[in-house]
Amino acid sequence: MAVGTVRSLLAEVEAEPAPFLAVVHAVHDAQGYLAPEDVAAIAAALKLPTADVFGALSFYYYLHQGSEPSSLVGVCDGPACRLAGSDRLAERVRRQHGIGEDGRSADRRRRYRDFPCAGLCDWRPVRRADGRCDGEGKAGNPLPAGTHGAAWPIDSEKAIFRFADADLRRLDAYRAAGGYAALRKVERGGDPAGLIEAVADSGLTGRGGAGFPLARKLAMVQGAAGEEKYVVCNADEGEPGTFKDRAIMECLPHLLLEGMAIAGYAVSAGVGIIYLRYEYPYILDALRRAVEEAQAAGVLGDFRVYVRRGAGAYVCGEETSLLNSLEGRRPWPRERPPYPTERGLFGRPTLVNNVETLAAIPAMVEGGAAWFRPLGRAGATGTKLYSLSGAVRRPCNFELPLGVTARQLIFQHGGGTLNGRALKAFTLGGVSGGLLPPDALDTPLDYAGPARWGGTLGSGGIIVYDEASCLVDAALVHMRFFEKESCGKCFPCRIGTVRYRELLEELCGARERETSAGDALSLFQELAAAMTHASACGLGMAAPLTVTSLARHWPHEVESHVRGRCPAAVCRI
C-alpha cells in the first residue's frame, strides 16, 4: 500500500487517543495483509521504533504479514469445542476448502489454522471462514435465538443484565426503559467521592478475574496526580470457556457505555476506550453504532468513548499487556509498580475494568448499595454472569447471585450433564482456575469459596467434563493453550508451559517416555512452584493450577497414565 494511503488512513484516527490498532486494522482490512512498507509507514507516522512495531505485529494471531491477501479457515481447538468433536469438524472444513498438505487451498487464498477459543462455547464446535465464526451446535441450542444464550436469574427483579427485555441495543428503547438515569443521577449529585463511597458500600468487586474491590481502584485513580486520565474497558475476553462479556456488549451496549461514563465521572476521566477482542466482529459494529448514537444524542456529556480492536493474543487481556497493545508496543506485561491506576495508558492514571464490572455500575447506582449487596449469597455481593459450557445440556450464560453453588449452576440451571452421564470434573475461571471434583459441587462460586479446593472463580467460565472424559487429556488441551499464548517475556512461564505440555504428552502416550513415573509427579509440583512464584503475570501463575488440581483430586487417573493406561472411555490421544 502506498505510504500516502497509510497516511490518509491514519489521518482519520490520529487525533483520537491510541490510534495504533485503528490504523493497523484499517490497512489490514483494506488489503488483507500488512506489507513491510506498510509496517514501516505506520511506525514512522506514529514515531515508534520500526523494529518494535514489526515485533508487536508479529505477536498477533490474526494479522497476516506478507505480500498477498490470505484468509484463515480453521476450527476452534478450545476445550468445549474439542469435547464437541472439533477434530472431526476440522477434517470436514479441510475437505470443504480443498486444503492440501501444505495447509493451503489450491488457489493459495486460504490458509488452514486452528484457532484458540473464540468465545462461542455455547455454539460448539465452532469453525471460521471468511472472517466469521459459526457454531455447528447453534441450531441445537435450546435457548432463544438472538440472545446468544444469555439468561437471567429466576427472580428477574434481581437481574442487572436485562437480556430478555425489548431490544435494548437501541438508544431510544434503552432510555425508555430508564437507561442513562443513573448517569444523570450521579451528575446531579455532583459528588464523585460520595459515589466512590456508595460503590464501596455495595461491595462490588472486579468481575474480570481477580475480584479486586472496584471502589479501591476508583479511589486510586481519582487520587492520582494528572490532568488527563483514562477509563479502559477490558473486553478482550480471551479465556477459554468465558463468553459473558460478549452477551453484555451484544445485547446491552448502552449499559456498558453508561457504566463507563459513571466510572469516568468518579475518577475525573474524560476518555474511555473499549479494547474489544478480535473474534467479536459483530459486536464491533454494535458497539460503534451505540457509541455514535449516544454521542450524537449527547447522553454521555463530555465523556468520549473509542473502540479499539485487538488482533488475537490472550495475554492482551492482562491489563498491562493490554495497555502496551493500545500503545503499539509488544503486548506483554509491564513490571509493577507503578500500577495502571497511577501510570497507565501513555503514562497517565488509568482505570482498567472488565465489561461486567463496569456494566454493573448503573444498576448499583440506581438501586443503591443496600439493594445491590444482598443480591449475593453467603456474604458475597451482587450477581455474577457465569458462562457454562462443556458436557452440559444447556451451555449458556446465567446471571445468578454471586455465591450460588456449582451444583445449582450446573444441574438446576444448566440442566445437568449431556447424555446424563456422571459429572467427573468442572473447571473454574475458564481454564485458569483449576479443575474441581464432584465433591466440590456444593462450594459457593464466589471469590473465596473455591480456595479450599485449590481453585479460583476467575472470570466465571465453567467447563463441565463427564465421566467419559480423560482429565489428563483435558489438562493437556489446557496446557497447549497456555503454551501457545505465553508471551515469552519471562522464562518461568515460557519454559514451564512447554515442560508441562511435554510431560502431559508423555503421560498420554503422544510422546516417547523420557521421565520416570516418580519424576513426573515431583516435576508437576516443582514447575508449579517456580511458575507461581516467578512468572511476570497471571498467565504463568495460573497455568499450573490445572495440573496441580489434577494431581490433587485425581491421583489415580494420573497414576494409571504413568503406568500407561487410561481409565476413561474417551482418551483422545
Ligand X SMILES: Cc1cc2nc3c(=O)[nH]c(=O)nc-3n(C[C@H](O)[C@H](O)[C@H](O)COP(=O)(O)O)c2cc1C
Residues that bind ligand X (CB under 6 A): 206-210, 212, 234, 236-239, 314-315, 317-319, 352-354, 357, 537-539
How far is 109 from 348, CA to CA, in rounded Å? 43
CB of 106 to ligand X, least distance (A): 37
How far is 168 from 66, CA to CA, in rounded Å? 42
CB of 537 to ligand X, least distance (A): 5
How far is 42 from 56, CA to CA, in rounded Å? 12
Q: Which of 312, 316, 338 is nearest to 329 (CA)?
A: 316
CB of 336 to ligand X, least distance (A): 11
CB of 189 to ligand X, least distance (A): 23
> Quick count: other Cβ atoms within 10 Å of Cβ 12?
12
Burial of 101 (0-12, 13-18, 19+ CB in 10 A): exposed
CB of 540 to ligand X, least distance (A): 9
CB of 473 to ligand X, least distance (A): 23
Nearer to ligand X, 417 or 546 (CB): 546
How far is 304 from 223, CA to CA, in rounded Å? 21
CB of 15 to ligand X, least distance (A): 27
Nearer to ligand X, 320 or 417 (CB): 320
CB of 511 to ligand X, least distance (A): 26
CB of 457 to ligand X, least distance (A): 11
How far is 329 from 332, CA to CA, in rounded Å? 8
The x, y and z cell numbers of residue 496, run together, are 514451564
Residue 233, strand partner residues: 274, 353
Q: Do residues 413 and 400 touch, judged by C-beta distance below 8 A?
A: yes
Nearer to ligand X, 206 or 253 (CB): 206
Q: Which of 573, 149, 116, 163 is nearest to 392 (CA)?
A: 149
Burial of 282 (0-12, 13-18, 19+ CB in 10 A): middle
Nearer to ligand X, 27 or 537 (CB): 537
Nearer to ligand X, 234 or 397 (CB): 234
Nearer to ligand X, 440 or 539 (CB): 539
How far is 510 from 488, CA to CA, in rounded Å? 24
**Is 421 strand, coil or helix?**
coil
Give the pairing type, strands 383-390 and 271-276: unpaired
Nearer to ligand X, 350 or 354 (CB): 354
Nearer to ligand X, 353 or 427 (CB): 353
Q: Do residues 433 and 450 touch, judged by C-beta distance below 8 A?
A: yes
Nearer to ligand X, 186 or 542 (CB): 542
Q: Which of 245, 206, 459 is nearest to 352 (CA)?
A: 206
